[in-house]
Amino acid sequence: DALMEQVRANGLQAALVVDEYGGTAGMVTVEDLVEEIVGDVRDEHDNPTPDFARRGLDWEVAGLLRIDEVAGAVGFRAPEGEYETIGGLVLETLGHIPEPGETVELVAFNPEGAQAEPVRWRATVLAMDGRRIDRLCLTRLSPERPGNGGRPGGR
């Protein structure tokens, strides 16, 4: 609220964000502020590819999708960690820069943070943008048999 008031009062379109040490932490635009209040705002500069889409039993998601957005869209609730995006979680779990086609199994948690055993998810890297994960396929695996592609009995 205070930042939005300062931006409007000074007629600014962007502001630099300073961390507690006086260093530059990033930049925020008026669009960023509006999106935090009302949700995603699409314009001519946005990528026309949706952030997430249902593909049969799977979900195709953007690697830059924030963890809370993934939870709201597909139901996967990630554990706490040093990442903000689903791509960051996959990178941290793998421990290296992946190639398209690589997969990793992810543990799901319930909203209270307790481990939701035995539900697991498989993330498959679909596309990279340099060293960044661009697109992922998320598949909820069946509790009966981890790794069976989300189908009861592995069929």
- Nearest-angstrom CA–CA distance, 115 and 53: 26
**Secondary structure E strands in 2-69:** 14-18, 24-29, 52-55, 58-62
As given in the structure block, the two tokens for residue 88 are 């960051």
**CATH label, 2-38, candidates 3.90.1280.20, 1.20.1090.10, 3.65.10.10, 3.20.20.220:** 3.90.1280.20
C-beta of residue 124 within 8 angstroms of C-beta of residue 93: no
pLDDT of residue 49: 66
Q: Where in the chain is the domain with CATH 3.90.1280.20?
A: 2-38
- Tell me whether residue 132 is exposed, middle or buried, using C-beta atoms within 10 angstroms of its C-beta: 0 to 12, 13 to 18, 19 or more: middle
Q: Which long-range contacts (CB under 8 A, 24 or more apart) does 21-28 make?
A: 28/3
User: Domain 52-154 belongs to what topology?
Assistant: 3.30.465
- Nearest-angstrom CA–CA distance, 14 and 137: 34
Q: pLDDT tens track of the chain, all 155 residues?
A: 788 888 888 888 888 888 888 899 889 888 888 888 777 666 666 656 678 788 888 999 999 999 989 888 888 888 888 899 999 999 999 999 999 999 999 987 755 555 545 468 999 999 999 999 999 999 998 665 444 444 444 43
3-state SS assignment for residue 23: coil
**pTM (predicted TM-score):** 0.61
As given in the structure block, the two tokens for residue 92 are 């941290």
Q: Where in the chain is the domain with CATH 3.30.465.10?
A: 52-154
